[in-house]
Amino acid sequence: QVQLVESGGGSAQPGESLRLSCVGSGFTLVDYAIGWFRQAPGKGREEVSCVSFSDGSRSDNTSYADSVKGRFTISKDNAKNTWYLQMDSLKPEDTAVYYCDVRLGSAWYRTSTSSWGQGTQVTVSS
């Protein structure tokens, strides 16, 4: 079955950086999309960044939430079936639980199955 495991969260001060990782298994990365989402206390789940690929290599489309543009970067490592979210210039408002997800067809896996897991906590404070 599909499994997604996030890691890399923690505490940081404003202006510092963190790098989140998501290791996926139970599927092949051919034609798909990967993404990062977050949920702050008392808020709904927000799409942070998504990117689609053709045959596991060609980037077709990349998007970032306005709140993170210029600060966050999404990337992947095909050899490790892993994708990342590099978070630079962190702000207190970035504090949230972060989740990864994968879209293998028309629907995002975790969204369609309601299997979000624990995510990884990011806390930004001085």
Segment 11-61, tens digit of pLDDT: 999 999 999 999 999 887 677 899 999 999 999 999 999 998 876 666 778
36 or 105, which is more confident = 36
Predicted local confidence at residue 28, as pLDDT: 76
- pLDDT above 90 for 106: no
What is the three-class DSSP state of 110?
helix
Give the model's pLDDT for residue 55: 67
Which runs of E-coded beta strand occur in the chain? 3-7, 10-12, 18-25, 32-39, 45-54, 58-64, 72-77, 82-87, 96-103, 120-124
Which position has the higher pLDDT, 99 or 26? 99
pLDDT of 104 over the 90 cut = no
